[in-house]
A and B are shown apart, each in its own frame.
Chain A
Amino acid sequence: MPAVSVRHLAKSYGDKTAVRDVSFEVEKGEVFALLGPNGAGKTTTIEILEGFRDRSGGDVTTLGVDPANRSTQRWLRNRIGVVLQELAVEPYYSVRQVLSRNAGYYPSPRPVDEVIELIGLKEKADERVKKLSGGQQRRLDVGLGIIGNPELLFLDEPTTGLDPSGRRDSWDLIRQLSADGTTVMLTTHYMDEVEALADRVAVLNNQEIVAMGTPSSIGGRDSSEVTIRFLLPPGLDAVDVPVPVQASDDGSVEIRTSDELRVLHTLTGWALEKELTLVGLSVLRASLEDTYLALTRETS
Chain B
Amino acid sequence: MTSSAAAAASSASASASAAPSPESTRSFQGFRDLRLIGRQVRFEQLSFWLNPFGALFTIVFSVLFLVLLSSTAGSQNISYYAGIKATQYYVPSFIAYGIMSSCFNIQAITLVNRREMGLLKRLRLSPLPTPLLMAAIFISSMIVAAIGVILLFLIGKIAYGVHGPASTLAVVVTTLVGMLAFTGLAVGMSTVVPNADAAGPMVSLTFFLLVAFSGLYFPIQPGSTLSNIADIFPVRHMISGMNTAFNAPPGSSPWPWHDYLVLLAWGVVGSFLALRRWSWSPRRG
Contacts and interface: CB of A to CB of B under 8 A. Distances in A.
A128 B46 CA distance: 12
Contact of B16 (A52, A84, A108, A179): A108
A64 B22 contact: yes
Interface string A34-56: 00000000000000001110000
A109 to B, nearest CB: 8
Nearest to A172: B1
B124 interface: yes
A148 B125 CA distance: 12
Contacts of A110: 9, 12-13
Contacts of A97: 43, 46
A118 B5 contact: yes
A84 B22 contact: no
Contacts of B75: none
A144 B50 CA distance: 20
Interface in A120-154: 120, 128, 144, 148-149, 151
Contacts, number: 120
B10 interface: yes
Of B13, B39, B280, most A-chain CB atoms within 10 Å: B13
A77 interface: yes
A249 B87 CA distance: 93
Interface in B225-256: none
Interface in B85-123: 117-119, 121-122
B22 A75 contact: yes
Contacts of A105: 36, 126-128
Interface string A73-93: 111111110101011111011
A111 interface: yes
B250 to A, nearest CB: 48
Contacts of B20: 75
Given A77-B126, A169-B1, A118 B51 contact: no
Given A110-B9, A144-B122, A71 B23 contact: yes
A61 to B, nearest CB: 11
Contacts of A73: 27
Interface of B: 1-2, 4-6, 8-10, 12-13, 15-16, 19-23, 25-27, 36, 39-40, 43, 46-47, 50-51, 117-119, 121-122, 124-129, 280, 282
Given A71-B27, A92-B47, A104-B36, 11 more contacts: A52-B125, A64-B22, A71-B22, A92-B51, A93-B46, A101-B43, A110-B13, A114-B5, A149-B16, A176-B1, A176-B9
